[in-house]
Amino acid sequence: MSRVISVVGATGAVGREIVRLLEREGVPAARVRLLASSRSAGGQVCYKDESLTIQELNSDAFEGSSLALFAASGDVSRRHVPDALGAGAAVVDNSSAFRMRAGVPLVVPEVNGEILLDNPRVVANPNCSTILLALALWPLHARRPIERAVVSTYQAASGAGAAAMAELEQQARDWTAGRPLVTEVVGKRYLWNVFSHNSDVGPGGYNVEEVKMRDEIGKIFGEGAPSIAATCVRVPVLRAHCESVNVEFADGRAYPAEGWARRTLAEAPGVRVVDDRAANLFPEPLDAAGIDEVLVGRVRDDPSRDGAIELFLAGDQLLKGAALNAVQIARRLEGWRA
């Protein structure tokens, strides 16, 4: 019988999506092992027409596994990835623990998936906002090198996990009822507010999310990668991130964006162009939530700078920004058919 695929953090927001995607891919229930903390162990999850029991994550949990998909914290990954490797499993890790580690590929399959042909033992899943940005930039960069991109993000509660989503929903209920709003998860009032991303701010004034975008795009794109200047904020949206992107090309020449850029994006894998000016129809998080593709629109020339364009995107942080990207990597490592 085929060996087991273990899902670490199976009860979290990303872990649940991974399990759902494995079911969608047709992976038999007998191949799926759900791992979580002792608090969740013993719980049941419906998978196809069967019920899977959540098992406790420990050092022996990966026995018989060919693949381990980690959807937990960096601390959990640092502790248990060696256990998975010791059991003979390949690892796809969604945390930040291994992303910038030398020798560990950081992969968006549509961009640098050829790295997976080398069958690496550990593959890092990029940060959610990085993945969405990479899908929009790479097809343009492959045709006409990008020198610089200035990015502003509008990040949903889903990026902070299931607890943040639940807190935003509770704030809406409490506000309607006239009750005080609880702000335990991200330390800020989410409802009717926009605030700087809830990650630590370094000496240079950039928060961790902004640094991740800069460094990770550099590693994914490799030599000649564009410089990234990012401003990352949270917005009161449950699911799906948005990003406003200004793109400057290295050659500095003006090419009408509504021509080659829109056509290039329309042909790109994983991208759906939503750009109807007459109907004022452009990417929105409500439309991006629950779908695989990243929506890209507002494609237009930047009149302030020759050879620059503007675009806007929306993508599901839990899907392509996390679980789907990990499952696509797993599919290539194990040779599943799409």
Catalytic residues: 128, 241
Give the DSSP per-residue string, 59-79: TTTTTTEEEEEE-S-HHHHHH
Distance from C-alpha of 244 to C-alpha of 154, rounded to nearest angstrom: 8
- Kind and range of the H or E run holding 195: strand 195-196
**Looking at this protein, which amino acid is placed at residue 84?**
A
* Dist. CA 199–CA 252, nearest whole Å: 35
- Strand 308-315 and strand 294-301: the pairing is antiparallel
Two tokens at 57?
């994550």
Strand pairing category for 308-315 and 50-53: unpaired
Residue type at 304?
Answer: S
User: How many separate helices (H) and strands (E) can be counted in the chain?
Assistant: 9, 15
CA atoms within 13 A on the CB side of 294: 35
**Phi/psi at 295 (5° precision):** -85, 130
Residue 54 tokens, joined: 């959540």
3-state SS, residue 333? helix
Its sign, for the CA torsion 197, 203, 208, 213, is positive
